[in-house]
Each structure stands twice: as C-alpha cells, then as structure tokens.
Amino acid sequence: MALSGMTGFARQEGAHGGWTWAVEARSVNGRNLEVRFRAPPGFDGLDRIAREAAQARFQRGQVTVGVQAKRATGAAVAVNTEQLERYLSLGQPLVNAQKASPPDVAALLALPGVIETSTDEDPEARAALEEAMAASINAALDALKASRQAEGAALTPVLNGLTERIEGLVKTAETEAAGQTAVIKERWVRRMADLVGEGAYEDRIVQEAAATAVKADVREELDRLGAHIAAARTLMADKAPAGRRLDFLMQEFMREANTLCSKSATTSLTAVGLDLKAVIEQLREQVQNVE
C-alpha cells in the first residue's frame, strides 16, 4: 500500500560560518496544499526554496516550515539606519492619526533589513550560508514526508478493515433484500383482506405487490456499493495520492446507503442500512487523514 497521511513532524539542525540553526517542518490535515514559512529577518530568500520543496513533495495538507537561526557571539552587527528611517516614516502618519501605537524598539529591529551582520556584507558567504540552510530545509521536508508515509502505513489496515465491514454489510443487505418480495406480497394480502375481506382478487394483490416491489428494489444500489468497494481498494493500492478521490467516493457510498434505507420495505434491511451508514461515516472520517 502506498497511502500517505497528512500529519507529521520533523526537525533538522545545521551549522555553517559561525551560524547555527534548526529547521522544523510540520503538517496537519488540509483540503488543499498550503505552505507557510517563518524565518528570522534577513532570510526571506529561503521562503521560495521552502515552498517549492514542499510543493514537490506534497499535494495536500497545511505545511509549516520554521527556521530558527543564531549567530555566534561576537559577530559584527550594524543597524541599517536608512531602512529604519523608511519604516518610521511609513508608520508615523498612523501614529499621528492614533491608528497605531508608537513603535517598539525590539519590533523595529526585527523588521527585515534593519539588522545587518558581517555575512550580509559578503555575498559569497551569504550564498553559502543560505545554501546550507536550504539543504537543512530539504532534509527536514524529506523527514516530514517519511513521517506522513508512516501515518499512511498505520491508516492502511484501519481503512481495509472498515472496507471489509462495508462489504460484509452489503452481502447481508443482499440476503435481506432477496426476501422483500415475499414480505411485500404478504403485506398486501393482509391489507386487501382488511379492505374487501376474503374476496380480494389474487391478480390485484399481485399487481399491487409487484408495483411496490419495483419501488423497493435495491439491486442497483447494492451493485453500485459493490463497485465502490472495488474502487476504494484500487485507490488505496495506487501509488499516487488518493485522498481527494477517496473523499469523493465516500459521498457516493453514503448516497447509495441513504437510497437503500429509503427503499427498504423491511425493518431488518433498514437495520442493515443504518449499520452500513455508520461504518461508511467511520471510513469517511479516516479518509480525511489521507493525502
């Protein structure tokens, strides 16, 4: 089985040129792929790298990549006063209009481009540093993918078990449905006897019972449920991400189960239909975790 989940966590640490860092990559369920990136000021260039790396590995889920970096003590640090003045001039009108509070020094220093280090002044050193960090980001995302695949491996027997339960209930429904015609005829015999007495015409009873039996025929629903079961197993064995298609298939499962219940003419078949809906809902909840 090649199912992959959407929940996972990975951490990767690295060091280069007086810098140390840690990359954390985590993901949770999501209808589409959404990538978020967080890094210290000055490392905005890694955003594109992280997003492209995530998009190359995943198709669904909310993926967050965070980088925490620390410069060795004693590194040359300077304040880019021109950049700082730009931020202050942009924010002053808001402060004057009382739409914002006066800026905090710590917040100002954390803005992109305000703090510069010696590495910022050396393009080659900066490029080497970001290349090393990018390698850590890729390694963290590889580990995250492995974590999600482990979740998929754990989900596989659960999904298979629920699919087998659905298959068993469909077979039980087929048995119960086979006896509906006799039950419907007997019901019409009693009804006609109550209305016209013992002189009820047999052909009229047969006609009415046949019309009701046609409306209560669930063979199409059972056939489609069987086809859905086969389709679910094919998708779960597929190497490509199957979460979207499985999610859609669960809607089709439930549609057929609802129709089966509405067409049921016996309490026993209705009970099977309700059990079927309950198991389908359990399977649908688990499918929400599949990429």
pLDDT in tens, 212-241: 544 557 788 899 999 999 999 999 988 888
Q: What percent of the chain has pLDDT over 70?
A: 82
pTM exceeding 0.75:
no
**For position 190, what pLDDT does the model report?**
58
22 neighbors 258 (Cβ within 8 angstroms): no
Domain edges within the chain = 8-76+121-149, 154-287
Name the fold adopted by 8-76+121-149: Ribosomal Protein S5; domain 2 (3.30.230)
30 neighbors 151 (Cβ within 8 angstroms): no
| H-state helical runs in the chain | 46-57, 81-96, 105-109, 123-178, 180-196, 202-215, 219-237, 243-263, 267-287
pLDDT in tens, 88-147: 888 888 878 888 888 888 787 778 777 766 555 578 888 899 999 999 999 999 999 999
The CA-CA-CA angle for residues 258, 262, 265, to 5°, reads 135
**For position 184, what pLDDT does the model report?**
58
pLDDT in tens, 66-85: 999 988 765 566 788 888 78
25 neighbors 140 (Cβ within 8 angstroms): yes
Judged against a pLDDT cut of 80, whether residue 211 lies above it is answered with no
**For position 39, what pLDDT does the model report?**
92
**For position 108, what pLDDT does the model report?**
76
Cβ-based neighbour number of residue 60 at 10 Å: 21
What the block records as the tokens of 147 is: 């974590």
148 neighbors 155 (Cβ within 8 angstroms): no
